[in-house]
Every structure is written in structure tokens, then in C-alpha cells.
Amino acid sequence: MTVPAEREPVSDPVRAPWEASMRLALTEAGRAALSADVPVGALVLDADGRVLATGHNERELTGDPTAHAEVLAIRRAAEGRPGWRLTGCTLVVTLEPCTMCAGAITQSRLDRVVYGARDEKAGAAGSLWDVVRDRRLNHRPEVIAGVLENECAAALTAFFRNR
């Protein structure tokens, strides 16, 4: 009797190319937790995959309710460009964007949003709402969900368990 060989895990061709960037976003999320902010990290990549800007939640740190990781990364990325449009860029974030962040994503004309953990309570990129792909809007970025989803969710779960 022959024993079947163990199979190598099949790499997901859609999500795998974003894993290294998501790991950087997870590192950024760890910075948020240092100031008692929810550990969400984000980065904006240019068309060649270079990091233009990073951000992590800073609501507790700054007292600014709009200081979400995505908004901060988008603001910082736009600062270094000739105009406000982030055409050709990708936002990588550890948690599915909320409605505010989804609005910022569409308004900044990002080409793509890549996120890790789903947010069933406030997600606006496919879970609760799908603002970023609403056909009534003039700009709809590509969405790639679930990149390192377990790792991203684990960071959030650990944070809330310890609160």
C-alpha cells in the first residue's frame, strides 16, 4: 500500500503577491497598539510597488476621530506628489476600510485596495457595505481581500482581548 505524498500548499496567485506588503502593514499596526490605538496599519504603494507612505491608527494618540491608518497614509502619500490624485497607487491595510476610509480611497483615485481582516461590523469594501465598488460612483478601485487574513485578525483579537 502506498501512502499519498503530502501536498505543498497551493499559493493563491491573487493574494500571494501582496503578502510582503501586508507584513509591512502589520508592523505598522503594531505601532498603533503602543499608544493604545486599535492596531491597524496601512501603506500606499506606487505603481512599481515602492512604499510612498505609511500610517497607523492615531485616534487615541492625537484625539482626532479621523486619524485612521488609511486616511493618514493617503494624506502622507499625496504630500509627495504633484497633485492630489493617487492614480496608479495601491493602499494595503490590515483591516477592511470603514465608510470614511472607503470614501477617502475613492476620492483619492487609488487604483487598488488590498486588505487583510474583514470587518463585519463596519467594513465598507464588501462586508457590511461596498462603498468602494458602488456602481454609482465615478471611480471604483480594485479590491483584493483576505491577504494574511488570519494574522491580521489575530492582531486585532489579541488587542481587544487585553483591553
> Is residue 16 one of the residues assigned to a domain?
no
Range(s) of the domain holding residue 63: 21-162
Binding-site positions for Zn(2+) read: 68, 98, 101
> Is residue 8 one of the residues assigned to a domain?
no
> Is residue 25 one of the residues assigned to a domain?
yes
* Predicted confidence (pLDDT) per residue in 127-163, tens digit: 999 999 999 988 999 999 999 999 999 999 999 998 7
Query: Distance (Å, rounded) from C-alpha 140 to C-alpha 126?
Result: 13
Share of the chain above pLDDT 90, in %: 84
Please count the other Cβ atoms lying within 10 Å of the Cβ belonging to residue 10. Answer: 7
Output the pTM of the full model: 0.91
Instruction: Tell me how many domains the chain contains.
Output: 1
Is residue 70 among the annotated active site residues? yes
Please count the other Cβ atoms lying within 10 Å of the Cβ belonging to residue 24. Answer: 16
Percent of the chain as helix, strand, coil, to the nearest 5: 35, 15, 45
> Is residue 93 one of the residues assigned to a domain?
yes
Residues sharing a CB contact under 8 Å with residue 26, sequence separation 6 or more, in sequence order:
41, 94, 116, 148, 151, 152, 155
Which CATH number fits the domain that encloses residue 29?
A: 3.40.140.10
Binding-site positions read: 68, 98, 101
> Is residue 11 one of the residues assigned to a domain?
no
Active-site residue, from 8, 19, 60, 70: 70
Cβ atoms of 73 and 91 closer than 8 Å: yes
* CA proximity to 162, closest of 38, 79, 3: 38
